[in-house]
Amino acid sequence: MARYIFITGGVVSSLGKGLASAALGALLQARGYTVRLRKLDPYLNVDPGTMSPFEHGEVFVTDDGAETDLDLGHYERFTGVAARNSDSVSSGRVYSTVLEKERRGDYLGKTIQVVPHVTDEIKEFLKIGEDEVDFMLCEIGGTVGDIEGLPFFEAIRQFSHDKSRDQCIFMHLTLLPYLAASGELKTKPTQHSVKELQSIGIAPDILVCRSEHPIPDKERAKIGLFCNVRKEAVVAAYDLGSIYEAPLAYHEQGLDQAVLDAFGIAPAPKPNLDVWHDVQDRIHNPEGEVTVAIVGKYVQLEDAYKSIKEALTHGGMANRVKVRVEWVDAELFDREDAAPHLERFNAILVPGGFGERGTEGKIKAAQFAREKGVPYLGICLGMQMAVIEAARNVAGIEAAGSEEFDHEAGVRRFEPVVYHLKEWVQGNHTVARRADDDKGGTMRLGAYDANLEDGSRVAKVYGTTAIEERHRHRYEVDTKYRAQLEEHGLSFSGMSPDGKLPEIVEWADHPWFIGVQFHPELKSKPFAPHPLFKDFVRAAVDNSRLV
């Protein structure tokens, strides 16, 4: 039976609950325990799949096809435990389930209320898989006091009451602001945050205090006294140069020991942190540097491409180089020539996205990379733009474009080299979709197999001809153009097992030019970099030596 750790936040948002949860999961693994991490989000969207990246950052996709919060990406990158659909729930999903049950008559005519029906649904969600691991870490989104989060706080309060006394603990993250005028760290915001938490029946066992300055012992003692927490359970969370320093930094501050003490686990198993020492060494001791341009449409918010940036970092670690990422707005190339902006980069990456805005700029970026021999990695829409570029400028299909853009405009403007995906095979059945279906959860989502052409570059990169990768897309390259494109040198080197859906394209006569329909960044980890990102950065290193 799992022990539960509930992670909450107070004072302000974006304190790093997700990172703290992920780092704690890694530390518990280092001590020999098994873990699973979950995210409970108070927003009313069923999932973040229909949100703009500007609203909520990237959408992280699991193997089983769930569209989830980006914090699940942190969980996977730090623990290596593949997230599942049951590891992410929102208020919208909870209320939808409750209302579906009410419509079916499952509640036998009772009046449906937040307590107990909504809170009971949250508790049932928390119980999923509790016999599979030693520790279940559950992060509650938002901050204590948010009106939309109250059902979740009430649910975890009830849940801890239902379980035995030593089975649940609460970890609360707060901010210790520093007033430069007086030269003091102020503990009052933390005290008020804990008081708010206590007012709804939850007493924290551990406090993680985010601070830009060292926390003196007397301040720790004061926080412990006024918040009814042991001084040893007041843990400092300082700003770090890299998120991958977090496991060692939190271990140094005693977070994992405080958790084991709260559960009464003694003697505590000694941790093996060799993998994190190696990760930190690779981060801090690079033997070179490369610069990669990410040409996208959401570049004003880096979290929109969170997993891509981290995967590039992992590729750099594998090659012992620092990868310097620079964000290039694809719309810039609608007005200006791409060459002056891209010629100084060692490699170019064009990520996924939705809608026509910025796509002509992405096409120009692919053209520049192809013509100048610059390493190029196109992901999802980035692959589709590379195919359209090849169709227009190499294969002579001047009106090549995507059905997605015609659908937006309401008129036929392009020859649809990329078309709306109408059906595909998932497991043992065929999935069908129409262009006017609901947006949420209707894409080709989750892990699918692909077969790679023997002898192709991607087969050499992966070291195999059979792979499985995660997808999130609604449009696909049309295979009816395959022969014409391959005749001009663009190889379809990866296909779905039934041979109907293109998964990978590459220019065989290019130093390194690969487009993939899936999202390899979602499976990359600091201690296990994804093969594509590892080799992409290697190609960037080789290109930097030619300059």
Instruction: Using alpha carbons, select from 314, 337, 333, 324 the residue that is nearest to residue 290.
Output: 324
Q: Are 401 and 418 in contact (CB under 8 A)?
A: yes
Catalytic residue, from 121, 403, 415, 521: name it: 521
N-terminal to C-terminal alpha carbon distance within the chain: 58
How many Cα atoms sit within 13 Å of 544 on the Cβ side?
A: 19
Q: What is the DSSP string of 378-422?
A: EETHHHHHHHHHHHHHTS--TTEEEHHHHHHHTS--SEEEEEE--
What's the token pair of residue 455? 């002898």
Instruction: Using alpha carbons, select from 196, 115, 212, 209 the residue that is nearest to residue 220.
Output: 209
Q: For residue 244, give the amino acid letter.
A: Y
Query: Is residue 458 helix, strand or coil?
Result: helix
275 to each of 29, 222, 423, how far by Cα in Å?
A: 11, 36, 43
Please tell me the distance from the alpha carbon of residue 520 to that of residue 312, in angstroms, as a whole number: 11
Are β-strands 234-238 and 415-420 bridged in parallel, bridged antiparallel, or unpaired?
A: unpaired
DSSP E strands: which ranges in 404-529?
415-420, 423-426, 429-432, 444-452, 466-473, 475-477, 490-495, 502-507, 513-516
Q: Are 139 and 15 in contact (CB under 8 A)?
A: no
Please tell me the distance from the alpha carbon of residue 37 to that of residue 57, in angstroms, as a whole number: 19
Degrees (nearest 5) of the Cα angle 33, 36, 37? 130
Element (H, E) at 18: helix 17-30
Residue 521 known to be catalytic: yes
Residue 503 known to be catalytic: no
Q: Are 171 and 144 in contact (CB under 8 A)?
A: no
Catalytic residue, from 380, 389, 473, 530: name it: 380
Residue 429 known to be catalytic: no
Buried b (16+ CB within 10 A) or exposed e, 94-105: bbebbeeeeeee
Catalytic residue, from 172, 314, 510, 519: name it: 519
Please tell me the distance from the alpha carbon of residue 121 to that of residue 98, in angstroms, as a whole number: 7
Q: Are 516 and 308 in contact (CB under 8 A)?
A: no
Q: Catalytic positions, please?
A: 380, 519, 521
